[in-house]
Chains A and B, each alone.
Chain A
Amino acid sequence: MNREKMQHMRKVQVASFLINEAALYLDVHPTNKKALDFYDKAKKERREAVEKYEATYGPLTFYNAKGPSWTWIQGPWPWQNEREA
């Protein structure tokens, strides 16, 4: 994975992690204003990061795959290094 791709991926990972942690907190503190704002901010960050990543490097989920050919299954897969792929 080249440096630029890694930087884009990192933004998706960071925003996704923030949402995950916010969700865990909100599951048991559903009316906490600070947590809700934190979630909203992370959600916006993630949406932008995913849009940027997918536009250049292909779909992150099969809901976002598109034609003309099925690129969803193209490696490298997340657990593969350069040599394996």
Chain B
Amino acid sequence: MWTYDKKLQYPVKIKNTNPALAKIIITQLGGPDGELAASQRYLSQRYTMPYDETIGILTDIGTEE
């Protein structure tokens, strides 16, 4: 199961605010073709993987995304 780490994976420093760009980025995260949707697909598809290596990589990619 999952746990949350209260940290960013990579430090973010925003020099100039840009609402139009922010809208694109938030869609890349939570939108229909975003990271969150992809993560759920990885984690669901791992159940039909035949080897420990492929189960492991899908688990860990899904976790990262």
Which residues of A pack against B, CB within 8 Å? 61-62, 72-75, 77, 79
Contacts and interface: CB of A to CB of B under 8 A. Distances in A.
B60 A75 contact: no
Contacts of B56: 72-73
Nearest to A79: B47
Contacts of B53: 73
Contacts, number: 15
B55 interface: yes
Contacts of B60: 62
Nearest to B54: A73
B52 to A, nearest CB: 5
Contacts of A73: 52-53, 55-57
15 contacts: A61-B3, A62-B60, A72-B56, A73-B52, A73-B53, A73-B55, A73-B56, A73-B57, A74-B52, A75-B52, A75-B55, A77-B52, A77-B55, A77-B59, A79-B47
Contacts of B59: 77
Interface in B31-65: 47, 52-53, 55-57, 59-60
Contacts of A74: 52
Nearest to A63: B5
